[in-house]
Amino acid sequence: MTLSTLETASPALDLERIRADFPILDQEVNGHPLVYLDNAASTQKPAAVIDAIGHLYRHDYANVHRGVHELSHRATEAYEQARGKVARLLGIGDEGEFVWTKGTTEGLNLIAYTWGQANIRAGDEILLSVMDHHSNLVPWQLLAQRTGAKLRFLDIDGEGRLDLSALDDLLTERTKLVSIAHISNALGTINPVTEIAAKAHAVGAVMVVDGAQSAPHLPVDVPSLGADFYAFSGHKMCGPTGSGGLWGRREVLEAMPPFHGGGDMIDFVELESSTYAPLPLKFEAGTPNIAGAVGLGAAADYLASVGREAILAHERHLMAYALERIAEVPDLTVYGPRDPAARSGVVSFTLGDVHPHDIATILDGEGIAVRAGHHCCQPLMRRLCVPATARASFYLYSGTDDVDRLIDALHKARAVFGY
């Protein structure tokens, strides 16, 4: 695709209307209209989400699952309806398989502590990849330290794609668990998790998908990915911070011991022992993040109303445009797959030997918010032989005009640093 053939206006979304839904976008930063390109870290919230949280606290708030009074009924209904909304968005038919968490990190730790502690023994192997986020590395490191299991890693190729040629050798009868990011937050690479899950199952391993970056960007039908677990964060998909979920196959969740003990997760408690509530409450101890769930439910409604396929088409178009325009900037190295359809949401880059923090500071002066650093992927940065990258990341309200502003500012940054 060339610039002459690539329409600059996305055919998929009414961008003006979408942007009007996000109050925070309508402001100047450092004297320039804000361009928010830090969506892989966290996304902005539409008025529908902000209003749903406000409405709950103004009219319907009380603790859930306990009271017999009207407000507790209303809060419980809003909370459980939200579970249904998010489950439906992700294709999850059985709401018992949907556990509220405070995000991807908590979901992955839940698996490591409960499934891991019950199933992993000394000498077992856990397969991860060098591109994984610290949230999908450290919980397994801790599990390996507690149990004597061994961690193994898929490498990447020169374009930042998983090197699957080693997969058959890495998967053996010792492999008990495979956990891979669906989309890399540092490179944008979309990983073939369904293919990996099939191979993991063939050796009897359980497959975990870190869905932090795919739940927001791809029209994922979670159960049909063929995995056993899928963890995601609400704040990366227009929902509030501290909201998120973990999907697990019912028979796997049923067989797992609970995570946290406390109120709500029990059936019958005696002084010395207890029996546990049915799924999903068995994994939801204590007063939950009620407003977070309600807000994420509103976010799910919002994303469904815009259309998951339309968001994907819009972002694909934007990625193609961004990759093409960024290639115009001399001295820039772009990481990740060259094919725009093989990546999602993220463009990571370095400019000569300028530290990415300095690039981000110049861009901030132009009103453009990007991330610079290791993106919680220190092993990946070492693998790429860079201390850090600058990262522009998109969402449904991003447009080609944002990319144009980024490119203009990168030209300015080159001039500042004497390129």
> Interface with ligand PMP by CB under 6 A: which residues?
40, 103-105, 133, 135-136, 181, 185, 210, 212-213, 233, 376
Catalytic option among 238, 376, 377, 385: 376
Q: Which is nearer to ligand PMP, 61 or 113 (CB)?
A: 113
Q: Which is nearer to ligand PMP, 137 or 359 (CB)?
A: 137
Q: Of all residues in the chain, what percent are helix, strand and coil, respectively (each to 5)?
A: 45, 20, 40
**Beta carbons of 342 and 319 less than 8 angstroms apart:** no
Q: Which tokens is 93 given?
A: 């038919």
Nearest distance from C-beta of residue 156 to ligand PMP, angstroms: 14
Q: Which is nearer to ligand PMP, 45 or 414 (CB)?
A: 45
Q: Which of 210, 213, 186 is nearest to 386 (CA)?
A: 186
Nearest distance from C-beta of residue 30 to ligand PMP, angstroms: 25
3-state secondary structure of 137: coil
Q: Which is nearer to ligand PMP, 334 or 376 (CB)?
A: 376
**Beta carbons of 94 and 254 less than 8 angstroms apart:** no
Q: Which is nearer to ligand PMP, 130 or 376 (CB)?
A: 376
Rounded Cα distance between 334 and 349, Å, is 4
Give the residue at shortest CB distance from ligand PMP.
Answer: 185
Nearest distance from C-beta of residue 142 to ligand PMP, angstroms: 16
**Beta carbons of 373 and 357 less than 8 angstroms apart:** yes
Chain centroid to CA 28 = 28
Rounded Cα distance between 93 and 387, Å, is 43
Query: 150-154 and 125-129 as β-strands: parallel, antiparallel, unpaired?
Result: parallel
Q: Which of 86, 53, 79 is nearest to 65 (CA)?
A: 79
Nearest distance from C-beta of residue 45 to ligand PMP, angstroms: 15
Q: Is 238 a catalytic residue?
A: no
Rounded Cα distance between 7 and 18, Å, is 19
Rounded Cα distance between 396 and 63, Å, is 34
Rounded Cα distance between 105 and 291, Å, is 19
Nearest distance from C-beta of residue 145 to ligand PMP, angstroms: 20
Q: From the CB of residue 47, how many other CB atoms can be counted at a distance below 10 Å? A: 15
Nearest distance from C-beta of residue 390 to ligand PMP, angstroms: 16
Q: Which is nearer to ligand PMP, 104 or 114 (CB)?
A: 104
Query: Which residues carry out catalysis?
Result: 376
